[in-house]
Amino acid sequence: MKTSLTAIAISTFLGLLSSTVYADPPVPPFYEDVIKLSPSGKLGQVLKKEKIQTSIKGAQAWKIAYISSDIGGRKHLVTGLVVAPIGAAPKEGRPIMAWAHGTTGAAQNCGPSQVLNPVSPLNEYFLIGGNSWTDYGIPSIEEFIKEGYVIVATDYQGLGGGGEHQYALAATNGMDMIDSARAASSMTETGAGKKAIIYGWSQGGGAVLAAASMPDYLSKKGTIADGIELIGAVALAPDDIAIMMPNSTSDEASAQKSLSGIIKMFTGNVFDFSHMAMSMWGVRAGNPNLKLTDIFTADGAKALDEVIRNKCMHAVADTLNFNFGTQYKTLLKDQITNPLEWTKAMVKGSVNPVKPVAPVVIYWGNKDTTNPPIMGKLYQEQMCKLGGNISRVELPGDQSHFTTPGASAPLYRAWIKDRLAGKGATNNCQQASQLPS
């Protein structure tokens, strides 16, 4: 009976898909124009911008579309926001705060800059007081404007600028963040200088860790704004997939075991399963040699592809829950095909095992079940051995994945202020092995 009900659900769902003609979800005119543009030019070059209204006191804001590239060296267009104080900038230019958002989805209309009032403090879907179907906004934006900083918030590629979003490929997301800082620095109306601090949460926390270990990409010449100086990196509840997959690229058997373990870790409920499925969709987007049918059944791959490319995160989870209920795991194949190529792609697209170019601080909550804190602990141990300046701070009280941004805000704002003042960053590497996970 269980199998037949699942088959009926999948059959009904696919029947609905086959009777409807689907296209990419609609996006506002600014993004329609961007999707038609070619990413020809320098990294960080702004190809389109539009001044927009903001309720943040003392601020001016723009939507932008700029050039970045991915883990495969392919250029693409990325949309986002730039927010700057009104008035004259200091001679050395204003510091840049580059924000990387958490998971919003993989469809073209999931970029946070597309909501009605995007230049706002962080608004979270899950929290009491949230006022939207998605997460949007920029943490500490009001405080940063008062301090005289320029803030740039990338949407990441594929979330408004065309192409397929490489979700879970932190390296690509990190490049988008670095190039967003270049874009902000190149805009004379912002008064931005070359000093930059990157900060991000969840998916964006992973992007922060990846970007901090990209010395070659940061030092590239011939960009629209060479010489961006990264002086600090703040990761809120970050993910690091590679650190959870040791020895996964040595042979097929190891790859099969490692990939199966990752999938099992994130299939405890339909919400986590949706994240996992979208992650695999994103890895495939950045690696054309991979197929969804390597991991999912043919019917499962078809259904997931249709849902993920057309809906944002919470709608994806709701759709899978409505159509498959507790039978969502039946969308998975019993045996993964081509596991070694998948693990190689996932490790390559994650955080490089390279000493970070600037101090890194990780803030985490003891009740985080979305991005297990063990990832941050293992990352710290790895980077400390390479000589990195890495601090990892457990937030006071019982903090979940979704309360981490708010609970950490006073701490990271003080940390950022110290970095800009030239103070040395506290390094708790020596205690790393004794710290709780």
Percentage of the chain beyond pLDDT 70 is 93
pLDDT of residue 3: 47
| pLDDT tens by residue, 234-270 | 999 999 999 999 999 999 999 999 999 999 999 999 9
pLDDT value at residue 164? 97
Q: What is the mean pLDDT of residues 409-426?
A: 97
CB-CB neighbours of 430 under 10 Å: 8
Q: What is the DSSP string of 25-58?
A: PP--HHHHHHHTS---S-TT-EEEEEEE---STT
Residues 213/356, Cβ–Cβ less than 8 Å: yes
* Position 335 pLDDT exceeds 60: yes
For residues 174 and 187, is the Cβ–Cβ distance under 8 A?
A: no
Statement: residue 71 has pLDDT above 50: yes
At residue 434, the 3 state secondary structure works out as helix
Rounded to whole angstroms, the Cα distance separating 352 from 104 reads 24
Strands 59-69 vs 75-85: parallel, antiparallel or unpaired: antiparallel
Q: What are the pLDDT digits (tens) for 12-69? A: 445 544 444 445 678 899 999 999 999 999 999 999 999 999 999 999 999 999 999 9
Question: Are the C-beta atoms of 405 and 139 separated by less than 8 Å?
Answer: yes
- The three-class DSSP label of residue 295 is coil
Mean pLDDT over 92-102 rounds to 98
Query: What average pLDDT does the segment 417-421 reach?
Result: 98
- Annotated domain spans of the chain: 1-437
pLDDT at residue 10, rounded to an integer: 53
User: Chain-wide mean pLDDT for the chain?
Assistant: 93
**pLDDT digit string, tens, across residues 368-386:** 999 999 999 999 999 999 9
Is CATH 3.40.50.1820 what the domain over 1-437 is classified as, yes or no? yes
CA 282 distance to own-chain centroid: 11
| Per-residue pLDDT tens digits for 192-222 | 999 999 999 999 999 999 999 999 999 999 9
Instruction: Please report the pLDDT score of residue 16 as a whole number.
Output: 46
- For residue 296, the model assigns a pLDDT of 98
Query: What's the confidence (pLDDT) of residue 27?
Result: 86
